[in-house]
């Protein structure tokens, strides 16, 4: 075990150096819009933002989360200036009169889509929790977060439990996953409140409806009774989400002393492993519920979630299983490292093709949230 821990620590040190020296400075210098405010959607592989792109709400909140987390990790750059930038831009351009945030504005702040997605509201809540935790001077987001959650509870509750998405498939597990992530983040800074109840409710729905009772894997799309959606959407299984939910269920299970949730996390992790392409050692994008590969491309973000889940499960695994999880974490992190090898340090590739080549395209800002979460998880498991 010592050997894999030594190798994992060495790799974690490379990630931290890349983060502190390359990625955080680059995405603040060029990924932030220092004229209009907010953050750009993309950076080209030359480090320049493509001009005049529309901006999704999730990018603004995620980048605020990134720089608040950077401060907590000890980045010496101007994180106290960077962290509020996305949330400030959201307040100015995305916040509607009903207190929720629309999904899309133009590069110069004109609303293009007034839809308020549950997915986007969850990331606003997560960013608020991160800024609250980072203890920025004069920052107190508790009332704002309570107000936004109140609107969600008031307008999005579903009679069969859970919450309804506003566009596309209305009954999805994914927005609930990020709402749970936000609730757990708020539990750390605002304990004993409605956040605990929200987290408990989402986990109960997940275990009862989102997870296949026989297979132990998570589904994505449902009908109004939280039964699998008709047709192909009801059969979709995403390996990345198996890992991401496993990470969250293990955290909640520890908090509540709930062995059922923790067992579900281990089972979900094992099912996610069935989506790892052995020739590339990466988690692919999509399976069917018979575990046939439906999309063999492998985006960056599932590799971060595979790493995080393996790390957290290693922490409390029996001695004879800990090494197995650490080996899996090392394999996942090694795969992730390949995505970060770009001509300009601090950028990334997003899509690995079945033939082992990366798609030549700009780096999406939205991915930074996944990467920094992974690096924080490496530090949390391995120490400084």
**Chain segment 260-317, per-residue pLDDT in tens:** 999 999 999 999 999 999 999 999 999 999 999 999 999 999 999 999 999 999 999 9
136: pLDDT confidence band, cut at 50, 70 and 90? confident
Tokens of 345: 């340090």
pLDDT, one tens digit per residue, over 99-112 is 999 999 999 999 99
How is the chain split into domains, by residue range?
2-382
Mean pLDDT of 144-172: 96
Residue 142 has pLDDT above 70, yes or no: yes
Mean pLDDT of 49-78: 98
**Cβ neighbours of residue 142 under 8 Å, at least 6 residues apart?**
132, 189, 190
Mean pLDDT of 91-95: 98
Torsion from C-alpha of 10, 13, 17, 20, nearest 10 degrees: 170
CA–CA distance, 185 with 180 (Å, rounded to integer):
9
**CB-CB neighbours of 311 under 10 Å:** 26
Residue scoring higher pLDDT (192 or 128): 128
**CB-CB neighbours of 208 under 10 Å:** 12
| DSSP annotation of 274 | T
2: pLDDT confidence band, cut at 50, 70 and 90? low
241: pLDDT confidence band, cut at 50, 70 and 90? very high
364: pLDDT confidence band, cut at 50, 70 and 90? very high
**Cβ neighbours of residue 158 under 8 Å, at least 6 residues apart?**
164, 171, 224
Residue 137 has pLDDT above 80, yes or no: no
- Fold classification of 2-382 is Glycosyltransferase (1.50.10)
Q: What does the pLDDT read at residue 1? A: 54
**Cβ neighbours of residue 126 under 8 Å, at least 6 residues apart?**
61, 65, 178, 181, 182, 185
Radius of gyration of the chain (CA): 20
Detail the DSSP E strand segments found in 65-202: 104-105, 111-113
CA atoms within 13 A on the CB side of 216: 18
Q: What is the pTM of this model?
A: 0.97
Phi, psi of 90 (to 5 degrees): -60, -45
The average confidence (pLDDT) of the chain is 97
Burial readout 320-334 (b: 16 or more C-beta within 10 A, e: otherwise): eebbebbbbbbbbbe
**CB-CB neighbours of 141 under 10 Å:** 22
Phi, psi of 358 (to 5 degrees): -90, 145
Tokens of 259: 């062995």
CA–CA distance, 335 with 327 (Å, rounded to integer):
12
Mean pLDDT of 75-103: 97
Tokens of 319: 């001695």
CA–CA distance, 23 with 367 (Å, rounded to integer):
12
Q: What does the pLDDT read at residue 245? A: 98
Tokens of 104: 């899309």
Q: What does the pLDDT read at residue 112? A: 98
Tokens of 13: 């040190």
Residue 253 CA, chain-centre distance (Å), reads 19
Long-range contacts, stretch 272-277, CB < 8 angstroms, 24+ apart: 272/217, 272/239, 272/240, 272/242, 272/243, 272/246, 272/306, 272/309, 273/239, 273/328, 274/239, 275/237, 275/238, 275/239, 275/242, 275/302, 276/239, 276/306, 277/354
CA–CA distance, 309 with 275 (Å, rounded to integer):
14
**CB-CB neighbours of 80 under 10 Å:** 16
Torsion from C-alpha of 157, 162, 168, 169, nearest 10 degrees: -140
Residue 192 has pLDDT above 90, yes or no: no
Q: What does the pLDDT read at residue 372? A: 98
pLDDT, one tens digit per residue, over 312-340 is 999 999 988 999 999 999 999 999 999 99
Mean pLDDT of 48-72: 98
């Amino acid at each position: 075990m010592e050997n894999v821990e030594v190798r994992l620590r060495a790799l974690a040190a490379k990630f931290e150096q890349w983060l502190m020296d390359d990625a955080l400075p680059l995405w603040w210098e060029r990924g932030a819009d220092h004229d209009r405010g907010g953050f750009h959607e993309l950076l080209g592989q030359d480090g320049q933002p493509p001009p005049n792109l529309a901006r999704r709400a999730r990018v603004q909140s995620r980048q605020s989360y990134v720089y608040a987390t950077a401060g907590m990790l000890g980045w010496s750059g101007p994180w106290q200036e960077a962290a509020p930038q996305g949330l400030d831009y959201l307040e100015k351009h995305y916040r509607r009169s009903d207190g929720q945030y629309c999904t899309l504005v133009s590069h110069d702040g004109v609303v293009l889509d007034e839809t308020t997605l549950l997915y986007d509201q969850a990331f606003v809540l997560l960013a608020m929790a991160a800024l609250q935790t980072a203890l920025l001077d004069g920052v107190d987001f508790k009332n704002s977060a309570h107000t936004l959650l109140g609107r969600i509870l008031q307008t999005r509750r579903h009679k069969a439990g859970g919450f309804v998405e506003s566009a596309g498939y209305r009954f999805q597990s994914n927005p609930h996953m990020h709402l749970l992530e936000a609730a757990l983040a708020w539990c750390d800074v605002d304990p004993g409140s409605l956040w605990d109840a929200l987290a408990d409710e989402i986990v109960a729905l997940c275990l009862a409806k989102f997870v296949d009772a026989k297979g132990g894997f998570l589904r994505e799309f449902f009908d109004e009774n939280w039964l699998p959606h008709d047709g192909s959407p009801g059969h979709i299984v995403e390996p990345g989400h198996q890992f991401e939910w496993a990470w969250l269920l293990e955290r909640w299970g520890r908090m509540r002393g709930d062995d059922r949730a923790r067992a579900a996390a281990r089972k979900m992790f094992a099912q996610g492993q069935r989506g790892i392409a052995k020739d590339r050692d990466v988690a692919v994008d999509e399976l069917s519920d018979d575990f046939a590969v439906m999309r063999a491309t492998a985006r960056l973000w599932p590799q971060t979630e595979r790493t995080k889940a393996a790390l957290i499960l290693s922490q409390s695994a029996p001695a004879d299983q800990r090494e197995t999880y650490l080996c899996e974490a090392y394999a996942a992190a090694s795969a992730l490292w390949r995505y970060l090898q770009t001509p300009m340090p601090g950028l990334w590739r997003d899509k690995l093709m079945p033939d082992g080549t990366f798609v030549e395209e700009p780096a999406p800002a939205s991915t930074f949230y996944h990467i920094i979460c992974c690096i924080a998880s490496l530090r949390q498991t391995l120490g400084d």
